Amino acid sequence: MGATCTRGIRKAIMGGGAHKVCVCGGAGGIGQPLCLLMSMDPNIKELSVFDLNVAMVPPKGVASDLSHIESKVKVSGYEMEVGKAPKDHLMDCLFGCSLVMVPAGMPRKPGMTRDDLFRLNADIAKGIVEACARFCPNAVVALIVNPINSIVPAMAELYRKAGLDPSKIVGVTTLDCVRANKFVSEITGCHPYQVEVPVIGGHAGMTILPVFSQDYYGSRIDPSKIPDLDRKTQDAGTEVVSAKNGKGSATLSMAYAGARLGRAVLAGLSGQTAVECAYIKSDVTELPYFASRVQFGRKGVARALPIGKLNAHEQKRLAEAKAQLKSEIATGMKYAQQTS
């Protein structure tokens, strides 16, 4: 009886698929739980845990630890000294990867906006993205690096300049959907898994636009409560930053959200239908980058799905979101233009 029960749990810890995944920043606060969740993905075969020699723990230690769980995945750790250029040193780690997940860069401290992190985090992301361009140019590169609204355009434009496909660069915005779903479930009493609120726009302040009207439960919430719920979703990251009191931002919920996106990408690459919200090079609005529901396929991003019908509140919010997003995209494009 006991054996039957635990076998059920163990069956959920899978691995045994066809894809190699690297987590760059895999020994950090987001990276460690993200590695754990990715190592349980049914479509994964191999996991590289990469980090710098100043990470919370050595990446080889994370790999050793993970290699004991009952998954079929092969896990390896790779460490690099601070100051070295990733593009010259990550061959073994990245070669053969279908997906590279990048939870890297500095987190916010209370009082900071995500924008305040741009210069520092863009340079960190650039090192990793250049290594991907060299060693796994066909991989999907999922960036969990703030400010996503500017970093994704910057890195995608660097890919374009290098003759690579800019749609391989994907900004992880899934945490906004996770939060919106959770908050709707708390108000309506349904289970969060029954809720599917698309969150469009971007991943900072007013650019985070949860489209509650497009979800069955969300659309049943009293309209007078929607502006507060909208703001709560926009401010959720800041709430965690304040609660952590200078010791970082969301790590566990971000890892969960990153793994949800990673799972969709790997499912698409494996020929299964998969849709998640993400921030990508897009033609669903007049802006060149936009978060919306994205269909993933055998080559990564298959297409950005249309925004769909918005109510009056959401239309007003879309105009505000686009205005902010426009200047944040410009920051990223300028970085790419000025960088060789």
Tell me how far, at minimum, the Cβ of 196 lies from ligand LMR, in Å: 19
Dihedral sign computed on CA atoms, order 240, 178, 333, 127:
positive
Note whether 249 binds ligand LMR by CB under 6 A. Answer: yes
User: Which helix (H) or strand (E) is 80 found in, with range?
Assistant: strand 74-80
**Would you tell me how many other CB atoms lie within 10 Å of the CB of residue 144?**
29
Query: Which one of the listed residues 89, 191, 203, 313 is annotated catalytic?
Result: 203
108 assigned binding-site residue: yes
The C-alpha atoms of residue 323 and residue 327 are separated, in whole angstroms, by 7
53 assigned binding-site residue: no
Q: Which is nearer to ligand LMR, 203 or 317 (CB)?
A: 203
Q: Which is nearer to ligand LMR, 44 or 145 (CB)?
A: 145
| One character per residue 254-283, x = contact with ligand LMR (rule: CB under 6 A) | x-----------------------------
Q: Which of positions 13-32 make contact with ligand LMR (CB under 6 A)?
A: none
Q: Which of 37, 47, 63, 175 binds ligand LMR (CB under 6 A)?
A: 175
26 assigned binding-site residue: yes
- Long-range contacts: 89-96, Cβ < 8 Å, 24+? 89/131, 90/50, 90/131, 90/135, 91/135, 93/22, 93/48, 93/50, 93/135, 94/22, 94/48, 94/131, 94/132, 94/135, 94/136, 94/139, 95/135, 95/136, 96/20, 96/46, 96/136
Dihedral sign computed on CA atoms, order 297, 298, 300, 302:
negative
Note whether 237 binds ligand LMR by CB under 6 A. Answer: yes
What are the tokens at 300? 């990564």
Mutual angle of helices 174-188 and 252-269, in 10-degree steps: 110
Q: Which window, 26-34, 43-51, 86-94, 246-254, contacts ligand LMR (CB under 6 A)?
A: 246-254
Q: Is 203 a catalytic residue?
A: yes
Q: Which is nearer to ligand LMR, 165 or 235 (CB)?
A: 235
Q: Which of positions 131-160 make contact with ligand LMR (CB under 6 A)?
A: 146
Closest CA to 51 of 35, 38, 40: 35
259 assigned binding-site residue: no
| One character per residue 78-107, x = contact with ligand LMR (rule: CB under 6 A) | -----------------------------x
Closest CA to 202 of 116, 307, 329: 329
Note whether 63 binds ligand LMR by CB under 6 A. Answer: no
Closest CA to 174 of 245, 233, 229: 233
Binding residues: 25-31, 51, 108, 114, 121, 144-146, 179, 254
Active site residues: 203
Binding residues for substrate: 108, 114, 146, 179
Rule CB under 6 A: which residues touch ligand LMR? 107-108, 114, 146, 175, 237, 240-241, 249-250, 254
